């Protein structure tokens, strides 16, 4: 349930808030930012929903779900990396210099920290054989 909430809800909310802030502080056209947002959301949903299979240890599902889940879960850092590239790309393309430097820094920092925290840190224990001992067994 938590996995589905994180990839199916929170990551999408975070991307939408980031897109909103970037529209306000960069002056880049909404259509350009929305296209990036759709790509990020699609990547997050596809990798996150199928990646849930890396948790299926004791619920009676076929073993292939653990490996299918591991592969797609290993791809989950891609939308976070895309979010980082998106933020830097939009700031570099900005048409105005916004006076709120903290908001611009937040937009850039959000992408970087999400990639490092959820992307890299999550990848370290995403494969089923490792996940079994990290949070698959609730240790």
pLDDT tens digits, 48-85: 888 888 777 667 788 888 888 888 888 988 998 998 99
Q: Taking Cα atoms as reference points, which of 118, 72, 112 lies closest to residue 91? A: 112
pLDDT tens digits, 103-112: 999 989 988 9
The pTM of the full predicted model, rounded to 2 decimals, is 0.80
pLDDT at 135: 65
How high does pLDDT run on average in the chain?
A: 85
Q: Is the dihedral of CA 124, 125, 126, 128 positive or negative?
A: positive
């Amino acid at each position: 349930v938590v996995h589905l909430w994180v990839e199916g809800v929170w990551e999408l909310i975070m991307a939408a808030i980031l897109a909103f802030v970037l529209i306000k502080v960069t002056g880049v056209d909404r259509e350009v930012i929305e296209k990036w947002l759709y790509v990020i959301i699609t990547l997050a949903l596809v990798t996150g929903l199928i990646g849930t299979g890396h948790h299926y240890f004791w619920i009676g599902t076929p073993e292939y779900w653990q490996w299918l889940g591991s592969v797609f879960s290993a791809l989950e850092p891609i939308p976070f990396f895309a979010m980082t590239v998106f933020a830097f790309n939009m700031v570099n393309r900005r048409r105005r210099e916004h006076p709120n430097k903290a908001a611009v820094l937040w937009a850039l920092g959000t992408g970087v920290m999400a990639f490092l925290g959820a992307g890299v840190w999550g990848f370290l224990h995403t494969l089923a054989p490792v996940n079994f001992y990290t949070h698959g067994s609730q240790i």
